[in-house]
A and B are shown apart, each in its own frame.
Chain A
């Protein structure tokens, strides 16, 4: 990650250990994950032992410690979605992409995550694709959604 961007994020928060989580969140948003270099730099600039930075980064689920795929599929597995068959979304994902939650496909296209509740329970089962909420999902609709993303990516690749 460009050091300049990291500089911007840390600016104004030097030597303030209590800003650690915010800083890591900004880096996560800007770069999609927390690299070792980023964490080392944060430890130094915020005056926090590196082990503490690593601890916070590994404790909170919002942080990824490895680069994510280009498309993020998040399946909601809250109670309401669960009783409406949400676990089948994971079956579908496993079948279509060969990955389990927390993993990224080998071609770097998709990362699959699960979340324990998005708070849109009336519309469950819910799947979020790149920030867009898709409601009343079924395995079939998820399959078509994944296919449409693949098709779009193939288009882009063909014209590159």
Chain B
């Protein structure tokens, strides 16, 4: 592969690629993201290629394995151009039909089309799918059109043009001004103004500086960064290159979570390719600007998403946060000035430089500009990645895009911001997604995780879930976090097991306040949020557990009781066979009974086809 020695080389390559693309008649885009891959997209690609080869169509038909399209619920997804035909829930067995009908003859296969959930009407193109209607896929859009393992695909759609513009037409200070004017705020959860961070780092004394990409997306239920890094790693690289130029950094890191093997693979491949093409290394495109970076792999610690803990991990140490009396922009990794930004933050940079700050600032609200990707998951019909302009109401995301409740059970709450965030009830669903608005309401935008919960979710159990998570993930260095989380969990566990006392609710608030003020790092400072927000909006659930020993949602195992209704039981034995704890007894065709060994897991209830298992 040719090294690009100057800006003209890049422009020339882009032209050649455009000409090549023009010779391809049909492109089949198959999503190869971890999600669709788990659902079986690789065999589909193999089967398609075999069909195409067999029919001698390889010259004019190209399969492109792309990044995430967003509509994960209906994966594996496939889009065929020309025509923007959208097929969902595809299987490898259908490859032959797809090639012979749609590719060869332009005929649409009805049963593979998306059907509107309410009307049942079939939708032909991806552009018309209701899921995408309220979205503004600035970041996810490119992922659909490129193979993340191909730098040329990225270049062909205009990749690295923003870098050229920055190097050729702008000074570092002008780049920083542009980012400041755009109003971009950190997408990892902190929401700190990106331009200001860059300016501080540039101004910090020292010749050796670093830029770091935080891809340690640890919030359970959030996978925007995974999909961005997997689906468009060069988009992130370009952002980092522009940032490094602006700040005056020569070296950088991308820190990828251990649990994201495909993102690691794609990031590593992208770096190798970028070096081969002369976009990383010395004298990039003949500009004199030199920059290179290393990919570092996490080792399974949520706390390493905290910037100082991440930097400690880069230095080969345990992920223990440092006090931030001196900011990391002055004293960061290796005690050098460092700019650490989230994957999505970096990914936003090229478009801002290319289209201008005003373009970005035109989207969103007064203090939260641009678009944000959310991972919409949980008890909702259409789970997937949703990219909307800041300021979009929660209601729109959950109902219009998300399709509302799955399973016909009413939506009760939405949890945003991961373990640092909070739960908001339906009454708050008119709130716009905006950094400050959600924070005031007791939650936060966070990194973008948005988990929908319904009437079958116990909010006290949710608080307990997050506390257990944080207890495991806390580094354990400081008292308010290590002991505070432990005591909170002790109290909330008491409540879920019927030993709660009313004064414990006040204690939770007092302790939560202490944790928020006195902890060493953001993990400890925000650890009380799930408890505090559920106390604020769902206090009656806590009170029912305490005053009546009752779990209204029927979840808390110590407070529920499983029994089999004799009249409905046919004695089929399905529950008996399914019970992992050996708690059910009964003879064939005689009513069964649940004994003392029952651990209330609920598996029997799922297995029973006669609705004979009841929860009290």
Contacts and interface: CB of A to CB of B under 8 A. Distances in A.
B578 interface: yes
Contact of B34 (A52, A78, A120): A120
Contacts of B502: none
Interface string A31-52: 0000000000000000010001
The 8 closest A-B pairs by CB, nearest first: A95-B580, A78-B220, A61-B300, A122-B72, A119-B223, A60-B299, A133-B38, A80-B377
A85 interface: yes
B218 A117 contact: yes
Interface string A134-155: 1100111001000000000000
Given A62-B258, A83-B378, A25 B299 contact: yes
B193 interface: no
A99 interface: no
Interface of A: 17-22, 24-25, 48, 52, 55-56, 59-63, 77-85, 87-88, 91-96, 115-124, 126, 133-135, 138-140, 143
Contacts of B601: 87-88, 91, 139
Nearest to B557: A87
A63 B551 CA distance: 38
B473 interface: yes
B217 A119 contact: yes
Interface in B215-234: 217-223, 226-227
Contacts of A119: 34, 217, 222-223, 226-227, 259-260
B492 interface: no
Contacts of A115: 259
B582 interface: yes
27 contacts: A17-B316, A18-B314, A19-B316, A21-B297, A25-B299, A59-B318, A60-B318, A60-B319, A61-B301, A79-B418, A80-B221, A83-B451, A88-B601, A91-B581, A92-B580, A94-B581, A95-B580, A117-B221, A117-B259, A119-B217, A119-B222, A119-B259, A120-B34, A120-B223, A121-B221, A122-B75, A134-B38
Nearest to A142: B580
Q: Is the interface of A mostly helix, strand, loop or mixed?
A: helix
B297 A22 contact: yes
A87 B602 CA distance: 10
A103 to B, nearest CB: 16
Which of A21, A84, A138 has most B Cβ within 10 Å? A21
Given A56-B316, A88-B601, A119-B217, A79 B383 contact: no
B603 A116 contact: no
A86 B468 CA distance: 15
A27 to B, nearest CB: 12
Nearest to B75: A122
A87 B75 CA distance: 25
Given A91-B601, A119-B260, A79 B299 contact: no
A79 B378 contact: yes
B259 A118 contact: yes
Contact of B599 (A80, A91, A120, A143): A91
Contacts, number: 162
B301 A60 contact: yes
B299 A61 contact: yes
Interface string B238-267: 000000000000000000001110000000
Nearest to A136: B39
Nearest to A117: B220
Nearest to A80: B377
Contact of B606 (A80, A122, A138): A138
B451 A79 contact: yes
A60 B318 CA distance: 8
Given A56-B318, A78-B221, A140 B300 contact: no
Interface string B378-408: 1100011000000000000000000000000
Given A20-B316, A56-B318, A83-B379, A120 B35 contact: yes
A129 to B, nearest CB: 12
Contacts of A133: 34, 37-38
Interface in B1-55: 34-35, 37-39
Which of A48, A60, A133 has most B Cβ within 10 Å? A60
A104 B455 CA distance: 36
A81 B375 CA distance: 13
Interface residues of B, number: 64
Given A55-B318, A121-B375, A140-B607, A62 B581 contact: no
Contacts of A120: 34-35, 38, 72, 223
Contacts of A85: 602, 606
Contact of A79 (B318, B465, B579): B465
Nearest to A128: B38
Given A92-B603, A139-B603, A79 B582 contact: no
B424 to A, nearest CB: 14
B510 interface: no
Contacts of A116: 218, 220, 302, 469, 472-473
B457 interface: yes
B214 interface: no
A96 B580 contact: yes
A116 B221 CA distance: 9
A5 B316 CA distance: 21
B317 interface: yes
A126 B582 CA distance: 25
A62 B261 CA distance: 13
Contacts of A122: 35, 72-73, 75, 377, 383-384
A77 B173 CA distance: 45
Contacts of B415: 79
Given A88-B602, A95-B580, A123 B39 contact: yes
A79 B314 CA distance: 28
A2 B613 CA distance: 55
A92 B219 CA distance: 25
A41 B606 CA distance: 51
Nearest to A132: B38
Contacts of B475: 59
Contacts of A117: 218-223, 259
Contacts of A83: 378-379, 451, 453, 457, 462
A60 to B, nearest CB: 4
Contacts of A82: 220, 465
A17 B301 CA distance: 20
B315 interface: yes
A21 B299 contact: yes
B484 interface: no
A116 B298 CA distance: 14
Contacts of B298: 62
Nearest to B574: A140
B603 to A, nearest CB: 5
B313 interface: yes
A21 B603 CA distance: 40
B449 interface: yes
Contact of A91 (B72, B219, B418, B580): B580
Which of A21, A59, A116, A122 has most B Cβ within 10 Å? A122
